[in-house]
């Protein structure tokens, strides 16, 4: 099945959807759950994005996450293992063509947490860069609407550049 790539204008309901999902995870993971963050492009107001909410959950012990798989499945989430990032259990909600949510779980203090939060915060604080990313995503979705690998590759250099800027920006605030 081909996954159609499309980006849509910012939806002001995305933070509400994030909040609804957060409540589910807090009840599933209980004391194991630490902070839960809205990350990714849907967390950045006023830019186009694929309508998939990215949620990052910090846990105390990453080894315990698999024990929550059945409860996650009951809530409509499919476990995908690490899915290319070591130490990150990954879950999706919705099928291949109609995803609504990605869940990234990291053990507290994993450096990937800081990277994701820096990227989000930098983009919120720098709307010109956020708009440039929005335009890039729109162009890539039009250019390769059924080729997720090309879409992702087309964003790679931009994301790496923003990661560098975000790191320098965060360090300048310390």
Buried b / exposed e across 29-53, counting CB within 10 Å, b at 16+?
A: beebbbebbbbbbbbbeebbbbbbb
| 8 within 8 A of 51, measured Cβ to Cβ | yes
Q: Tell me, which fold does domain 14-173 have in CATH? A: Beta Polymerase; domain 2 (3.30.460)
What is the layout of strands, in order, in the sheet containing 77-79?
33-39, 53-59, 101-107, 90-93, 77-79
State the pLDDT confidence band at 174, using cuts at 50, 70 and 90: confident
| 55 within 8 A of 93, measured Cβ to Cβ | no
Query: What is the DSSP pairing of strand 101-107 with strand 53-59?
Result: parallel
Once rounded to an integer, what is the mean pLDDT over residues 112-117? 96
Q: What pTM value is reported for the model?
A: 0.94
What does the alpha-carbon distance between residue 136 and residue 118 come to, in Å, rounded to a whole number? 20
The DSSP secondary structure of 132-157, one letter per residue, reads HHHHHHHHHHHH-TT-HHHHHHHHHH
> Domain residue spans in the chain?
14-173
Three-state secondary structure readout of 95-124: CCCCCCEEEEEEECCCHHHHHHHHHHHHHH
Query: Residue 173 class from Cβ within 10 Å (0-12 exposed, 13-18 middle, 19+ buried)?
Result: exposed
Structure confidence by residue, pLDDT tens digits, 75-105: 999 999 999 999 999 999 998 778 999 999 9
Residue 118, pLDDT > 80, answer yes
């Amino acid at each position: 099945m081909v996954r159609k790539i499309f980006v849509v204008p910012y939806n002001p309901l995305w933070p509400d959807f994030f909040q609804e999902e957060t409540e589910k995870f807090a009840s599933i993971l209980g004391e194991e759950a630490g902070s839960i963050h809205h990350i990714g492009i849907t967390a950045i107001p006023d830019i186009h994005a694929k309508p998939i909410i990215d949620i990052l959950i910090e846990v105390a012990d990453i080894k315990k996450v698999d024990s929550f798989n059945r409860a996650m499945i009951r809530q409509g989430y499919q476990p995908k293992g690490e899915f290319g990032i070591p130490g990150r259990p990954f879950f999706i909600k919705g099928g291949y063509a109609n995803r609504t949510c990605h869940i990234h779980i990291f053990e507290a203090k994993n450096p990937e947490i800081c990277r994701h939060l820096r990227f989000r915060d930098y983009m919120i604080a720098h709307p010109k860069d956020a708009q440039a990313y929005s335009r890039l995503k729109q162009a890539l979705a039009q250019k390769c609407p059924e080729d997720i690998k090309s879409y992702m590759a087309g964003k790679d250099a931009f994301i790496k550049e923003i990661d560098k800027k975000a790191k320098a920006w965060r360090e300048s605030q310390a």
